[in-house]
Amino acid sequence: MIIFPAMDLRDGKCVRLYQGKFDALEVVGENPIEVAMSFKKAGAEYIHLVDLDGALNGTIKNLEIILKVIKEVNIPVELGGGIRDIKTVDALIKAGVSRVILGTAALKDKKFVAEAAEKYGDKIAVGIDAKDEKVAVNGWTNISDVNYIDFAKEIEAIGVKTIIFTDISKDGTLMGPNLVQLQKINDSVSCNIIASGGIKELEDLRVINKMGIYGTIVGKAIYSGNVDLKEAIAAGSQIIEKKQGL
């Protein structure tokens, strides 16, 4: 299982939210390059980046910093937040983003998602952020009436291979992931599922890995010291090797 250390960017800084609430924002890193470099030193093979300003406003706002992370840290980056059209996807992939995450646009414009998935394959992921099993959009500020499983099936049908699933009520809480909903979405589609939200300790990662999940995003647990990234990556690797009989 891949461990994705998370960096949420707001006004050029690394921040964490509590249950997706922007009025419950905490700055956890003044220098995103230093934070990303610490992830690399711990052995991270991928970084999960979210432009929170972009998620709210519909256009990427922290592009300069994102491009610096890609260039200076030099490990794969997946990016979400404010990506609403194919021209933006083209530009980001050309600039070196390894995987582009579509969120609000995926719910509102499935033709765009299908075009992106056909053009870029595994480089496209869809973020499904849910509250009470309903899909949230616009930086989690609006809740739709679309069930997260129904949406996952629609996304799979149009060619998306990777889904990032977040239970908003768990995000940033250190209360443990929503294993029931995570298992349900993993059983409902054949897409690679990346779990997000609520990770509090190494045991959470071990449990998720045993469920056959492709990857897990870890944010606040790293910044708070609850989870040591190096240990998390090592534990994930050991479990994967055991499952494969190596």
User: Which are the catalytic amino acids?
Assistant: 8, 129
Q: Are 105 and 87 in contact (CB under 8 A)?
A: no
- Provide CB contacts within 8 A for 88, sequence distance 6+: 60, 82
| Nearest residue to 138 via CA among 81, 60, 23, 56 | 56
| Nearest residue to 9 via CA among 49, 46, 38, 43 | 49
Cross-strand bridge partners of residue 167: 130
- Give residue 161's identity as a one-letter amino acid code: K
Distance in angstroms (rounded) separating the CA atoms of residues 236 and 223: 19
Angle, helix 179-188 to helix 148-157, in steps of 10 degrees: 30
List, in sequence order, every beta strand (DSSP E) within the chain. Answer: 2-10, 13-18, 21-29, 47-51, 77-80, 99-102, 124-131, 134-137, 142-147, 162-167, 192-196, 215-218
- Provide CB contacts within 8 A for 244, sequence distance 6+: none
